[in-house]
Amino acid sequence: MSSAYAEIEDALENYFAGFFEGDVEKLQKVFHPSAHLYAAMEGPLSDRDMEKVYEGVRGRESSASRGFDRFDRILSIDQSGPEAAIAKVQIALGDQLYTDFLNMLKLDGRWQIISKVYTGEPRPAAQQEAAE
C-alpha cells in the first residue's frame, strides 16, 4: 500500500467519524474551506457550501447519539498523481446510506476534500437494528 493511500485513508477517518459523531471539528480537518457538496436526489441540483454543511451537522442529532451502528467503507481510491485523487465511499447516517464521490487534493501537506457528489437511499434494515 502506498503512503499516499494510507494518508487518504487517515483523512477519510475524520470524514467518517465527523459525520457519524456530528463533530464539525473533525470534518474541518478533511474538508477544504471552499469545498461544495452536490446532489440531485430530489430533482434540481443541490449545491451546499461548507457553512451550510456545518450548520446542518450542528443542528441535527448525530447517528452516534441516536444509537445507530457506525457503517462506512472505502469502495475505491483512484489517484491520478501525487496530489490528486477521487475516493468512492459509503457512509450510513441515520436511516440513509450514502454513496459519495470525494474529489481530493493534497494541499499544505494534507489530503483535503475539495468537492463531493453524492446520492442516498434508505439504509438496509440490517444496519438499523441499533435504532429499533
Domain with 119 in it: what CATH number? Answer: 3.10.450.50
With contact defined as beta carbons under 8 Å apart, do 22 and 57 qualify? yes
Answer whether 79's CB lies under 8 Å from 4's CB. yes
| Residue 119 belongs to domain spanning | 3-131
Domains contained in the chain, number = 1
Nearby residues of 32 by Cβ (< 8 Å), 6 or more positions away: 105, 107, 112, 113, 114
Please provide residue 96's backbone torsions phi and psi, each rounded to the nearest 5 degrees: -115, 145
Contacting residues for 4 by C-beta, under 8 A, at least 6 apart: 79, 82, 85, 106
pLDDT at 124: 79
Q: What is each CA distance from 115 to 15, 65, 127, in whole angstroms?
A: 13, 27, 27
**What pLDDT does residue 131 have?**
47
Residues 64-101: tens digit of each pLDDT: 999 999 999 999 999 998 999 999 999 999 999 999 99
Exposure on the CB side of residue 100, measured as CA atoms within 13 A: 26
Q: CB under 8 Å to 42, separation ≥6 — which residues?
A: none
Each residue's pLDDT tens digit, 13-44? 999 999 999 999 999 999 999 999 999 987 89
pLDDT value for 130: 45
The residue-averaged pLDDT of 48-53 equals 97
pTM of the model: 0.89
